[in-house]
Amino acid sequence: MSDTTSLVTAAEISRLAGVTRATVSNWRRRHPEFPSPAGGSEARPVFVLDDVRDWLREHGVTSAETPLRELRTVLRARVNPQEIPGLLELLARSGGTLGPRAKGVDPEVTRAVRAAVDDVGIGPTVEALTERGLEENPTTGVYITPEPVARLMAQLAGERLTEVFDPACGSGALLVAAAERDAHTCYGQDVVAVQALRARLRLEYPESPGQHPTADVRTGDSLLVDAFPDLRVDTVLTNPPYLQRDWGSDELAMDPRWTYGVPPRGESELAWVQHALAHLRPGGLAVMLLPPAVAYRPSGRRIRAELLRRGALRAVIALPTGSAPPRHLSLHLWVMRAPDPAGADEVLFLDLTPDRSAWDVVARKVSETWHGFDRGERGAGTSEAVAVARVMDLLDDEVDLTPGRHVRATLDADHTADAVAAGLAGLTDDIDALRAAVSTLPGWSGVTEQSWRTATVADLTKGGAVQVLMYRPKRDESEPFDTAEVGRPVLIGRDLATGAEPSGSIDGDWSGSLVVIRAGDVVMPQIRDARRGHSVARVAGDSDAGAVLGPGVFLLRPDPARIDPWFLAGFAAGPDNATSTHGSTTIRTVAGRIRLPLLPLQRQREYGAAFEQLLGLRLAARRADRAAARLTELVSTGLGAGALEPRPATKTSPRKGRK
């Protein structure tokens, strides 16, 4: 371990003492005896940790750090990222803790590790060690598998979960999900030593009692140096790296795993697909999380065709957009089986790309549909999003396996007619709501131009009438991430534009501030489309409260005794408060430059009530517009696919007197 002097930044001192960065700066200015910088730069000085602790103790400042936070501070001060694998290995060999005099380990590190394990257990301690170990590892094309998605993938394997293999196991999320379903042996491999050890420790020291599978997790590149060349298992679960350019295409050109075709250089995912199939016993199942381009890229069509001909590919499932990183894509689950000589002549397609249901509903749809298809029940599942296609119909020039394409082409006539009827009823309800919103608008009276006195939000902030808060990326990457925040809803710009509830969520990749929304806050996007007129601002209600701000969104928090929230929202979103233009299509709103009239609170509330009604009208119109668009698309698709036909026009008698 590193024997250099422990150094800490001002940010780490603030966490150590439980104070703000500004307080640390004040200490440095006002106390000449405060430790002098021992290095770093003028903008980011570093200090000797022991000297800082002595100074804090002498001035009666007790540490506010938990053992886990203190461990993170000690690791950054005393342990290089390259040393973390050795520390994790020692932790695994020593039964989940370190002896008081662990050989070769800095005593301060030993003490901090033992204190963290005693306080929070080995799981969070391993995560803190891993964070330090991964700081210098590139992560391009490598994404975590969220726990809900990992559990779904394990569920799709059904009762086959006895021996499970993940050749790109990362943190071990998929192996842990398999262990939760009673897999008794888990094999894994990852090219990053820290990740392999992290996965091993998660399996050997599970958070849930009773889960104690045999774990064999090794370090190395699975494609180039397979650590388990002779391994054959019942189940492979994996979320491999995407878009690898250096996966070894030249060195592996003659590899015996390529029984479905040699993967082109740009098709690393299809190399992983064949690697997974090569590790299955006959009849074994592989479930893989893949980017949607794998289903249609021209360079991979020959391999896709061979997977179909030999009955290896059994299902392609498009998950709702944002289910897993990268969040802007609708990732696909490929379900494959090591083929038997008889092969298979049908493939299941399930398209949940536009589905906005809660995740448990989505998971149930996927599971029921797949298991029903696997049992031969072709009518099982969610028919509006399902297609079962014959292999011979898929083997065209493109071999496009995108689920949406096949779902649209195989619409069921009865179900489509029912869906149209439901869509029409929904549109009628939205139109009624729009009429109601129009009818509640107040009367208006024209006046000569108002000569208001105004003030900017920056001025009001100085007086304490308004606070401005926004999402900001972390400046200090060493700042710990509280895993308890994973899953908290996130409000994004699209939610404001559509009037929806917060649709994002915090995951393990979250790298920004945590600004929690309160009821009564005014939330706004920083950038809007210049072609759509006014910006959108809304007053946060109960459904927004507790969510956090996402990138590109800011909030204004008024003092309700001085500023009416709806008054603030209405004027802030007006065209006069667009403060700068980027190109010709987007406009940025700078919070501090927003200008408001200075009116008595009662008068503010009168304006605020009008703005609230106008926003209700606007949202009702958008809901009706979206319902009309959905209905139009459904009817057009049904007509084009032959699942619907127009009724003959009803004959009516000509009006009297018409010539």
The predicted-structure confidence for 9-48, as pLDDT tens digits, reads as follows 887 787 777 777 778 888 888 888 999 998 888 878 888 8
In whole angstroms, what is the distance from residue 206 CA to residue 166 CA?
Answer: 17
Say whether pLDDT at 104 is over 80. no
Question: Is 575 in a helix, a strand, or coil?
Answer: helix
Give strand pairing partners of 390: 346
Q: Counting every residue, how long is the chain?
A: 659
389-417 residue pLDDT tens: 999 999 999 999 999 888 876 555 666 67
pLDDT at 209: 61
**Cα dihedral: 283, 285, 290, 293 (round 10):** 20
Contact status, residue 415 vs residue 384, Cβ threshold 8 Å: yes
Highest-pLDDT range among 113-122, 186-195, 425-434: 186-195
DSSP state of 409: H
Percent of the chain with pLDDT over 90: 34
Residue 322 pLDDT exceeds 90: no
Q: Are 16 and 8 spatial neighbours (Cβ–Cβ below 8 Å)? A: yes
So what's the pLDDT on residue 658? 42
CA distances from 604 to 16, 574, 622 (A): 45, 15, 27
Rounded CA gap, 337 and 356, in Å?
30
Among residues 541, 648, 555, the alpha carbon closest in space to that of 594 is found at 555
pLDDT at 5: 61
Q: Starting from the edge strand earliest in sequence, which strands make up the sheet with 7-9, in order?
A: 7-9, 45-48, 39-40
pTM of the model: 0.62
Burial of 291 (0-12, 13-18, 19+ CB in 10 A): middle
Residue 210 clears pLDDT 70, i.e. is over it: no
Strand partners, 467: 557
Which structure tokens are listed for 4?
């250099």
Report the 10 Å Cβ neighbour count for 48.
18
- What pLDDT is recorded for position 586? 61
Where helices occur in 318-466 by DSSP H, the ranges are 359-374, 391-394, 403-409, 413-439, 457-462
Residue 104 gets the label, from left (phi > 0), alpha (psi -120 to 50) or beta, of left
Indicate the range of 129-138, 181-190, 449-458, 525-534 predicted with least confidence. Answer: 525-534
